[in-house]
Amino acid sequence: MADAKNTTVEKQVTETKRVPGITLTLAKDEAEALMVLVGNIAGEGSSPRKHSDAIYYALKSAGVSVLGKDISRQLSGSSRWLRSPKSPYSY
């Protein structure tokens, strides 16, 4: 006699999804300025900083470098990503 049971099994699935994206074309000096900005943003890896890091490394892999250039010494201060938005009532 046949027997069947309803169960759940784990199966690794690889899928390709279409997600909205942005293509940005920059001049070399614009790309260097953006690299300096996103490379100097503080915050935890669980904050939106992960996106700043992704932009930095994408620029780096495209051949952009600011090491030893004046532009990397022109930034004053730094920005910090927070894990969650500030309250609209915080001062």
pLDDT digits (tens, 9 = 90+) for 39-50: 988 888 888 889
pLDDT digits (tens, 9 = 90+) for 12-42: 989 999 999 999 999 999 999 999 999 988 8
- Tell me, yes or no, whether 12 lies in a domain: no
69 vs 20: CA distance, rounded Å: 34
- Size (the chain), residues: 91
Give the pLDDT band (50/70/90) at residue 89: confident
Nearest to 81, CA basis, from 40, 51, 37, 42: 42
> What domain range includes position 42?
28-75
Domain count, the chain: 1
For 60-64, what is the mean pLDDT? 96
Give the pLDDT band (50/70/90) at residue 91: low
- Tell me, yes or no, whether 41 lies in a domain: yes
